[in-house]
Chains A and B, each alone.
Chain A
Amino acid sequence: MEKEKVLEVKNLQKFFKLGRNNTVKAVDDISFDINKGETFGLVGESGCGKSTTGRTIIRLHEATGGQVIFNHENVHGKKSKQDLLKLNRKMQMIFQDPSSSLNPKMTVMDIVAEGIDIHKLAKNEKDRKQRVENLLETVGLNREHATRFPHEFSGGQRQRIGIARALAVEPEFIIADEPISALDVSIQAQVVNLLKRLQRDYGLTFLFIAHDLSMVKYISDRIGVMYFGNMVELAESDELYKNPLHPYTKSLLSAIPLPDPDYERNRRRVAYDPAEHDTNEEPEFREVKPGHWVRCTTKEFEEYKKELKTK
């Protein structure tokens, strides 16, 4: 069955100018697709460009080059206010820090309803209130919470408000930028369960950005690994964990500590040295096995294919 693509990222670039002769290539030529109803995980170390990718997709940053195609429509480029509005309604974001992403001067009611107001989704005041109360209950809060301010909530509850706010405009696609990193372990599981339930109930598509690999593996259907602005490996999550090919992915996987002392005693970390690649040839993103892409040179490409066969 042909899967329906919701989002296509084609050769996306985002450079930041730091001075006359100094640019940071935060995202340098990455491409991937996200299918309808799936969760795509984006992992990498801090500074690898994963958050910039997310923010460029939703046009919080203007792209330096390349295209982002959402529902057959380019996100970037000149747009009328109407078109932008339409786009913003279908694509929403959940931010990392739930305390700085909510306006402290607004009540929860107004925060959640802001999108409803902008897109004129509510027929009247009563409908608006009803919608907000329903949303709060969907994310596991009470309707009484609507009159309170963000500082009256704990971190996990604030993240729930952030999720309700994103859901208010009935989006199809949600970018979650490290939505659980700032939360306690037990609360993390609550929020992850909530996200999974919402996806099931509303058929949402997620781009899940995180550095916690075990959580990403758990929530994602496919995972892309980023390193220094490039996508180095992309595969289905089980495939990626069973058969990592790129040395960076291997090193990343070997560094995750698991809650299992016996495993930990025997875990050997593999270090990644970018110098091990052949620098004479510019590496390209190639498909080693259907659905499993690795950034490699032609020689490495052959080696990876062999490696997969012997497994």
Chain B
Amino acid sequence: MSKLLEVKDLRVSFKTYSGEVQAVRGIDFDLKKGETLAIVGESGSGKSVTTKAITKLLPEPQGYIKTGEILFEGQDITKYSNKQMQKLRGRDISTVFQDPMTSLNPTMKVGKQIAEGLIKHRKMSKAQAREKTIELLELVGIPQAEKRLNQFPHQFSGGMRQRAVVAIALACNPKILIADEPTTALDVTIQAQILELMKDIQREMDSAIIFITHDLGVVANVADRVAVMYAGKIVEVGTADDIFYNPKHPYTWGLLGSMPTLDSDEEELFAIPGSPPDMLNPPEGDAFAPRNRFALEIDTQMEPPMFQVSDTHYAATWLLHEYAPKIEPPESVQRRMQGFASMDDGKDGEA
């Protein structure tokens, strides 16, 4: 598969009165055609900032890309002018934001907001755009599209609004769809509908999706590959199976352990103690070390490099170094690994 998007050593900082906040501190990843990459992490881990850097929607001039390259189909878009970016946004890369109430214009009819991109990027006439808009609304599952076209966002329910936002994002068949916590504000049943919708559309249009969320359940549902971010860095990346059944980084263990499973009866959840570091003065060494009960001496002095676990799986923790002591992951994680091992056996048996 060809690489649609390549991010190389991206660093994003914000200038504030108290100094430089290093929101993203050197990340590398790529995105292939038609795949879904989920970026997981707590608030403040830099996951949203990463996507804002890709679409150049950082609040300028405070937020800026310090170093790094973002290659979209081989072109470095960090060097693009505003005009060039405007052509790209909405046509090739589009975004579904978290809160549908604030991302829709309350004074503009929904139909017009969807048609905007069609007229601008695809040079459609108004009549053509209207037809296509009705088609899109039906695609995202809004009944009575012709009537809904002329309504305002406040006449839509939360789930409907998010569907309308998805319709806007899909209007020009984008190559990359960035979904920034698209279902966080929604109920579970509505969330399930929106996720199904996005997957169906992806299959139909073969677009790639970057999915930002902190809900690991949602990640397991949508993602082909997962990147776990902490304190502005990717600490572990792999296929969904790698991350959920064979996690290597203690932070990933913590994230997985802090969610109860429906059949667990443990007395206490495996919580991550403390709170995320201040990105104004990022700690030396491994940023996760102060919250990590498996932290080693070296974690406070030197930042761990990315260790390769398998062809698809990488993790940045000193625990993977050959000199590191063997440690037992928490019980809930061990259970996951056992599940993984038995799955592997099954596959071997078939082969």
Contacts and interface: CB of A to CB of B under 8 A. Distances in A.
A241 B258 CA distance: 20
Interface string B213-228: 0111111110100000
A239 interface: no
Given A46-B158, A259-B244, 11 more contacts: A157-B275, A185-B216, A185-B259, A186-B254, A189-B257, A257-B188, A260-B261, A261-B240, A262-B343, A267-B221, A272-B189
A193 interface: yes
Scoring A259, A263, A264, A267 by chain B CB atoms within 10 A of each residue's CB, the highest score goes to A259
A189 B332 CA distance: 14
Contacts, number: 112
Contacts of A261: 220, 223, 240-241, 244-245
Contact of A184 (B43, B257, B264, B270): B43
B134 to A, nearest CB: 24
Nearest to A191: B271
B256 interface: yes
Taking chain B's interface residues, is the majority helix, strand, or loop, or is none over half, making it mixed? Answer: helix
Contacts of B223: 261
A207 B65 CA distance: 47
Interface of A: 45-46, 154, 156-157, 184-190, 192-193, 196, 211, 213-215, 217-218, 241, 251-252, 255-264, 267, 269, 272
A148 B282 CA distance: 24
Given A184-B42, A214-B261, A262-B343, A189 B269 contact: yes
Given A184-B43, A196-B268, A214-B261, A258 B220 contact: yes
B196 interface: yes
Interface in B244-283: 244-245, 254-262, 264, 267-273, 275
A154 B220 contact: no
A260 B264 contact: no
A150 B240 CA distance: 39
Given A184-B43, A255-B192, A263-B220, A218 B269 contact: yes
B200 to A, nearest CB: 13
B191 interface: yes
A185 B196 contact: no
Contact of A257 (B43, B192, B244, B254): B192
Contacts of A260: 220, 244, 261
B220 A257 contact: yes
Given A186-B255, A214-B259, A258-B262, A154 B275 contact: yes
A259 B268 contact: no
Contacts of A272: 189
A192 B188 contact: no
Interface residues of B, number: 44
A190 B273 contact: yes
A264 B196 CA distance: 12
A256 B214 contact: no
Given A45-B187, A186-B271, A193-B271, A258 B258 contact: no
B217 A256 contact: yes
Interface in B304-334: none
Interface in B188-210: 188-192, 195-196
B350 to A, nearest CB: 15
A214 B262 contact: yes
A173 to B, nearest CB: 23
A45 B190 CA distance: 9
Given A259-B216, A261-B220, A215 B260 contact: yes
Contact of B191 (A193, A215, A255): A255
A80 to B, nearest CB: 42
A75 B43 CA distance: 40
A259 B220 contact: yes
B126 to A, nearest CB: 36
A156 B218 CA distance: 22
